[in-house]
Amino acid sequence: MQLETLLANITQHSEIKDAYGATHLPIYNTATFDLKRQSPDGQIYDYSRSDNPTRNALEMVFAKAENGFGCVCTNTGISAIALVFETVLKTNEHVLIEKDCYGGTYRLLNILFEKNNITAHYADFTDLTEVEKILQSNEIKLVVCESPTNPSLKIVDIQELGKLAKTYNALFAVDNSMATFASQKPLELGADFSVFSSTKFISGHGSVTAGAIVSKDAVWDEKFKYIANAQGRAQSPFDVFLVSLGLPTLTYRMKAQEASALKLAQFLETHPEILDVKYPGLSSHPQYELAKKQLKIIPAVLTIELKSAEKAEDFIKKCRLFGEKVSFGCADSRLEIPARMSHATNTKEDLAAKGLSHATVRISVGLEDTDDLIQDIVQALTIENDVEVLSC
């Protein structure tokens, strides 16, 4: 079954047992269930923290979409990442992670270091020689990567990295928040876990925070479910419903946003006020060929470098269609300076090592008309700023 077919009718393909034949995912927004009123032929529910028909339905859809064994839906994306760390890693163990990781992941690892003495090793995962040296000299329990990375948009060869992790007996997790299963399926490329924030492209509306872990095998799926229940990380039925609204249009939204992002990136490459543009869909990107091979859809996120922090601030201030907002993958276009927003907990040294500065701006391209977005950027980058104000 193709992904679009699965997502077009998630109620049918989730196999949820709804007595009234609802054509969209029904919301069982209840804390408890009456055991005496349930059929003994199906799953028995007692408490929504442990199991809920709405949430279980979405978990089945995600597991099918990723070609995994099972899934756990959590209340936020970072909650899903935390659940992986806290389930897999024990005190004094080591994790290897791409140095250009999400700022929230970096912050979480610092907390785990202080609390459980977890040692985090950071590397450039586009350099597999560097990765193997760390694997050789340390007993790494877990390897974690993002691809594309956030916000530098590097493309990691997930298949080759998975082979290395397996060679050195490390578990392998991929943060698939930016690409989503519409673009790449980490479990098919060798990962043990595909972790993602459903807050972003998957829901697409910017109306909910959510996360998920899809496991390749039953043993780890059972462990994640047990810890999620014990810690109370479960996603609420209503939030599950909000996420589900974006699924039928996911691939179509991402393809439209990809086309717009490429046109915008090509324009920005020619603009004299922009020093650098990073977008994996550009032929100038260092991992362009790998991106074409590994990704069915290039996510509509790009990073630009302006001439100074002051120019970056001025650019953000003057943009009218781009809100200054964290996150990405929504219908509305948005931008941020990662150094003081999503990656604010990184030190100056860490930011420099990642190639980030206060002149770095991350842009998430939405579903607005591309020419309107370009016109907005033109007026924002015009020094005199005397371009006619957009009527919209």
Residue 101: φ, ψ to 5°: -95, 165
Question: Which tokens belong to 88?
Answer: 């897999």
Select which of 64, 154, 200, 362 is catalytic.
200
Select which of 45, 102, 106, 122 is catalytic.
102
Residue 22, C-beta contacts closer than 8 angstroms, at least 6 positions apart? 11
Cα separation, 295 vs 292, in Å, equals 6
Residue 284: φ, ψ to 5°: -80, -10
Placement of tokens 């005190």 in the chain: 91
Question: How many residues can be counted in the chain?
Answer: 392
Residue 18 is a catalytic residue:
no
Select which of 100, 124, 157, 175 is catalytic.
175
Q: What is the DSSP string of 253-267?
A: HHHHHHHHHHHHHHH
Q: Return the number of other C-beta atoms located less than 10 Å from residue 15's C-beta.
A: 11
What radius of gyration do the chain's Cα atoms show?
A: 21
Residue 200 is a catalytic residue:
yes
Residue 383, C-beta contacts closer than 8 angstroms, at least 6 positions apart? none
Residue 175 is a catalytic residue:
yes
Cα separation, 72 vs 228, in Å, equals 8
Residue 62: φ, ψ to 5°: -65, -40
Could you give the residue numbers annotated as active site?
49, 102, 175, 200
